[in-house]
A = this chain, B = another copy of it.
Amino acid sequence: MEDILNGLKFDANGLIPAIVQDHENGQVLMMAWMNREAVQRTIETQRATFWSRSRQSFWIKGETSGHVQHVKRVSVDCDQDTLLLQVEQVGAACHENFRSCFYRDVSEDGLTVNAERVA
């Protein structure tokens, strides 16, 4: 584990971005940030755990909402400065109750909602 963590490139704030994708249908659900310990916790517990930049604390996804992410696979990119998590998402990944945080499409004309809220 130490070798893996040492190989990762954290930014000036000690963070690395983690893309979260539905492991079944490939939908990109969200992106959040991890510090070294969040990466370790995520791999060891197989529950997506991030570092909240606004609250400056660990954030186990779904801890309060129940919308947990069971981690099926973790990958790292060529530069080792971005992680990709493939997860089983319970409920909605987005706090606005959309399945994915990317619920708006962008065009030259503006933003268009591309999904409906979950339940």
Contacts and interface: CB of A to CB of B under 8 A. Distances in A.
A107 B43 contact: yes
Nearest to A78: B101
B28 A106 contact: no
Contacts of A103: 75, 78
A74 B109 CA distance: 12
A64 interface: no
Interface residues on A, range: 35 or more
A102 B114 contact: no
A60 interface: no
A116 interface: no
Contact of A74 (B17, B19, B75, B105): B105
Nearest to A106: B74
Which 7 A-B pairs have CB atoms at the shortest separation, nearest pair first? Answer: A26-B26, A77-B101, A75-B102, A74-B106, A84-B102, A31-B82, A78-B101
Interface of A: 1, 3-4, 7, 17, 19, 21, 25-28, 30-31, 43-44, 73-79, 82-84, 94-96, 98, 101-108, 110-111, 114
